[in-house]
Amino acid sequence: MNQKVSIDENMQVSGAGGGRRGRGERGGAAARRAARSGGGPVQQLGYIRRVRPAHEILDEEGLALIEANADTVLEEIGIEFRDDAEALALWKEAGADVRGDRVHFPKGLCRELLKTAPSVFTQHARNPERSVQIGGNATVFAPVYGPPFVRDLDGVRRYATIEDFRNFVKLSYMAPAIHHSGGTVCEPVDVPVNKRHLDMVYAHMRFSDKPFMGSVTAPERAEDTVEMAKILFGEEFVDNNTVVINLINANSPMVFDETMLGAAKVYARNNQACIVTPFILSGAMSPVTVAGTLTQVLAEVLAGAAFTQLVRPGAPVVFGTFASSISMQSGAPTFGTPEPSLVSYGAAQLARRLGLPFRTGGSLTASKVPDAQSAYESANTLNSTVMAGTNFVLHAAGWLEGGLVSSYEKFMMDIDQLGMQQRLCEPLDLSENGQAMDAIREVGPGSHYLGCAHTQANFQTAFYRSTIADNNSYEQWQAEGEKTAQARANQLARNWLESYQPPALDEAIDEALQDYIARRKESMPDAFA
């Protein structure tokens, strides 16, 4: 499955469960209505298969310039692989110039190594219908990752718990345009830090059947992830297929630390996917200019992604970017502004030239509450993410306060937006029905289309129906209590959580997973820094 194929060929590649739509997406209006009023999980959409070219901001000359500059950074400045003798030995063996922790790369070395990396691969879900293609013309939406806090349904901002974690897994499972269960949907701080990865991975396995992400906070936690995946998928299946995708952040500028390298080694060795992601707040971790940031991002990804190929040639690896800027007044991160969008567009182009799947963006905001700031910033980020042709979109729903907070209300708003983006990516219907000439003939000048045959035949599926928007008259909106989008999202989240039904899971597997977790927890100290 992990083979080098060209982007053009990818157009034909069909991952497991990769039918463009689940059964009857267009018939999902009733299901959505049910969901809106508190019904069960609605019709799931398959991952997006884009049919239109991505928006690009760099021409050949600009791309070549940035690539040459990145090569210069790799050769002259180098990248640090800190406190990992094995990594340094691998680089030395590959022909790099290693001085202390600093690795200098002869021109072309990283690109040469990356020739074994697949440009497209399938991440399998336990429900084959939920498996996703990573790369090519696919776009996969995954929820928020990392926040230690939640903003809960009573409007309280507090530390996240394992209960919150499960809730976000459940909501992601139910959301039609979330194709992936994600990873650390919030940080369950009520579980000891050395044990919580077990509960997190289990929650993804038990409360969802969508693909998910593994633990990266220590090599042994990555090992636990792989072991649990083997229980869920079968050992042989995991040996031969990618079943987890994992976030390997660079410690920008130009450093990979031992924690991330340790996790990366475990996953690459097991043929599982790494998303090598420079975590960039321009102005702090990279230059303040777009071209300078792109240069550094490319250099870091080249080094980190090539490293996975040193560990195991052919291991799936994704070109990641987390692009943001900082306020030059306060130093605080900013989101939804033009410069990070430009970085995303440019980085997507660099990834395509490199033949790697691309990750960036999401629904990012610095706002403390799901207000207009939150929505403008998230929409700007999401629109540019999708237009860039991004393959894997982390933080696609629920992100608030610069990633410090997972918000239930924001999650419900964002998944509505994801549904819209998915519809936007569909091919235009130019069939006879799409052309609607009969309707135009039937109605004619000065009449209206409300009752015509064509409208009757198409109205249920013609338009995307928002689950959040209030389009009623002012008077009706007033009579219903002048609710904001936030208030409506709150009610919708409550309804969904109330009506959640877990996907079936083989009891023997469930017991084996719980048994594994219990044994591992017992082997660990009670408290752990």
Residue of 30, 85, 328, 524 interacting with its own copies (CB under 8 A) = 328
What are the residue ranges of helices labelled H in 73-180? 85-94, 109-113, 162-174
Maximum CA extent, the chain: 79
Are the C-beta atoms of 127 and 502 separated by less than 8 Å?
no
Cα separation, 527 vs 194, whole angstroms: 8
Residue of 11, 85, 437, 518 interacting with its own copies (CB under 8 A) = 437
Nearest to 357 by CA among 139, 179, 136: 136
Q: Which is nearer to its own copies, 326 or 505 (CB)?
A: 326
Residue of 378, 385, 390, 467 interacting with its own copies (CB under 8 A) = 378
User: What phi and psi values does residue 433 have, to the nearest 5 degrees?
Assistant: -65, -40
Q: What is the DSSP string of 194-259?
A: TTHHHHHHHHHHHH--S-EE---SSHHHHHHHHHHHHHHH-HHHHHHSB-EEEEEEE-SSSEE-HH
Residue of 272, 367, 390, 490 interacting with its own copies (CB under 8 A) = 367
Residue of 12, 154, 236, 473 interacting with its own copies (CB under 8 A) = 473
Site stretch for its own copies (CB under 8 A), options 111-119, 203-211, 467-475, 493-501: 467-475
Q: How far is the CB of 271 from its own copies (least distance, A)?
A: 29
Q: Which of residues 287-306 bind its own copies (CB under 8 A)?
A: 287-293, 295-296
Residue of 401, 406, 418, 467 interacting with its own copies (CB under 8 A) = 401
Residue of 26, 52, 99, 158 interacting with its own copies (CB under 8 A) = 52
Residues in a beta bridge with 248: 276
Q: Which is nearer to its own copies, 209 or 401 (CB)?
A: 401
CB atoms within 10 A of CB 434: 10
Residue of 83, 435, 506, 511 interacting with its own copies (CB under 8 A) = 435
Contact track, its own copies, 85-124, x by CB under 8 A? -----------------x----------------------
Q: Is 374 in the site for its own copies (CB under 8 A)?
A: yes
Cα separation, 211 vs 243, whole angstroms: 7
Cα separation, 326 vs 334, whole angstroms: 5
Q: Is 387 in the site for its own copies (CB under 8 A)?
A: yes
The vertex-236 CA angle with 233 and 237, nearest 5°, equals: 45
Residues, the chain: 529
Contact track, its own copies, 150-189, x by CB under 8 A? -------x--------------------------------
Q: Is 254 in the site for its own copies (CB under 8 A)?
A: yes
Cα separation, 343 vs 154, whole angstroms: 37
Residues in a beta bridge with 324: 281
Q: Which is nearer to its own copies, 271 or 374 (CB)?
A: 374
Q: Is 506 in the site for its own copies (CB under 8 A)?
A: no
Cα separation, 186 vs 92, whole angstroms: 38
Q: Which is nearer to its own copies, 162 or 379 (CB)?
A: 379
Q: Is 433 in the site for its own copies (CB under 8 A)?
A: yes
Are the C-beta atoms of 172 and 178 separated by less than 8 Å?
yes
Q: Is 76 in the site for its own copies (CB under 8 A)?
A: yes
Q: Is 448 in the site for its own copies (CB under 8 A)?
A: yes
Residue of 127, 161, 217, 373 interacting with its own copies (CB under 8 A) = 373
How far does Cα 145 stand from its chain's mean position?
Answer: 9
Q: How far is the CB of 518 from its own copies (least distance, A)?
A: 37
Residue of 156, 430, 504, 508 interacting with its own copies (CB under 8 A) = 430
Q: Which of residues 121-150 bind its own copies (CB under 8 A)?
A: none
